[in-house]
Structure 1
Amino acid sequence: MNLHFDLKEIITATMILFAVIDILGSVPIVIDLRKKAGHIQSGKATIVSIILMILFLFLGDEILNLIGIDVNSFAIVGSFIIFFIALEMILGITVFKDEIIGSHSIVPLAFPLIAGAGTMTTLISLRAEFALENIIVAIFINSIFVYFVLKTSQRLENILGSVGLNVLRKVFGVILLSIAVKLFTSNINQLF
């Protein structure tokens, strides 16, 4: 098997995934989840998201076709989850009620915030343009950054304070709500 590592492809794929994952924009969500669960397992969330992204990179179309779901339907479901997370942030309500302490590391952190519908559909699109090995390197570069942000979220909270976090949470809640609506409308149009 010939590997064709291309720095330009790696940088481009990394930047695209960085924009879609938007872990910096998710900092208020991460802090909220940490408060609900008491602790977020940064390593576990990062590893699970890497596994999900790589599995979806190789098997995404096949998995969705196997269970009879198209990418657009998958993205619409992801938009609903993002929509409810945004409502929690904006209105200060609790929609997700997990009975299992610590489960926030997987849902909704690893999926759908890090490796969500937007990330999955982006990976399918990247696969059409770039070599697999370059996309995998981009996934790992983004995952290192995600891990760093998850690990330092406590310090970010201390720096911003409760008022700063509240403002940031509302602002990013509105942005997240907009992303959910955009993801929904762009994919609902594809279904009809």
Structure 2
Amino acid sequence: MNFRTDQLITVTFTLFAIIDIVGSIPILISLKEKMGGIKALKATAISGGLMVLFLFAGEKFLNILGLDVRSFAVGGSIVIFLLGLEMVLGHEIFKGDADSHSGTVVPIAFPLIAGSGTLTTIISLKANYEELYILLGILINLIIVYLVIKSLKWIEHALGKSGLMAIRKFFGVILLAIAVKIFSSNFAAFGK
């Protein structure tokens, strides 16, 4: 197998945009204040475990439900599209869990980092990319997630509200384009 850096970059950026750790910084900052701190390593490890579990067992789970990866990819691309639309337009489509007393596992590890959008994306990516690229993309994103959670105060100060908003909208547009690509490449297979 020839290592394809372009595929690794695509997978990594797709997961980065879906996880939206930068867009989650305002939520993380408020949760950190309410909870008296966030255990960065624990949140990263639990969310990573969920992602890797879904990468390797998600397809088997779909088979039990009588679904194939391409069908899930089309459904997932619609969810990714809506998430991108939400980021670009600034309107909440998916309602978050407002209970901040649950701690590091809920709502930070799940659903904030490894939410339904992330897990759906991992399965959707399997229709177009090899597991190695997805696993490496997950690991790279987990490092970013850990670093972001560890340096929340510095990031908040450095970017400011307008900087965070601009980054969120930029990644929203990238998600829209990725969703269209996943949808078109998998939807075409239904006619064959």
Matches within 5 A, 1:42-191: 42-43=40-41, 45-102=43-100, 103-105=106-108, 106-112=110-116, 115-122=118-125, 125-127=129-131, 139-140=138-139, 142-191=141-190
TM-score, L = length of structure 1:
0.67
Contact in 1 for aligned 2:87/2:168 (Cα 8 Å): yes
Structure 2 vs 1, CA of residues 112 and 180 (structure 1 numbering), >3 Å: closer, same or farther?
A: farther
Name the % identity: 35
Contact in 2 for aligned 1:13/1:135 (Cα 8 Å): no
Task: Give the unaligned 5+ runs of structure 2.
Answer: 33-37, 101-105
Structure 2 vs 1, CA of residues 88 and 56 (structure 1 numbering), >3 Å: closer, same or farther?
A: closer
User: Secondary structure of the equivalent of 2:130?
Assistant: helix
User: Secondary structure of the equivalent of 1:98?
Assistant: coil
The residue aligned with 2:25 is 31
Structure 2 vs 1, CA of residues 190 and 148 (structure 1 numbering), >3 Å: closer, same or farther?
A: farther
Structure 2 vs 1, CA of residues 138 and 43 (structure 1 numbering), >3 Å: closer, same or farther?
A: same
Contact in 2 for aligned 1:33/1:104 (Cα 8 Å): no
Supply the distance in 2 between the matched residues of 1:46 and 1:14 (Cα, whole angstroms).
20
Number of residues of Structure 1 aligned to a counterpart in Structure 2: 179
Contact in 2 for aligned 1:45/1:110 (Cα 8 Å): no
User: Secondary structure of the equivalent of 1:116?
Assistant: helix
User: Secondary structure of the equivalent of 2:24?
Assistant: helix
Deviation at residue 71 of structure 1 after TM alignment: 1.0
What RMSD in Å do the two structures reach over aligned CA positions? Answer: 3.8
Supply the distance in 2 between the matched residues of 1:189 and 1:157 (Cα, whole angstroms).
43
Deviation at residue 70 of structure 1 after TM alignment: 1.2
Deviations 1:130-157 (A, max 9, x none): 6xxx986775454233322343344323
Deviation at residue 176 of structure 1 after TM alignment: 1.8
Deviation at residue 166 of structure 1 after TM alignment: 2.2
Task: Give the unaligned 5+ runs of structure 1.
Answer: 1-7
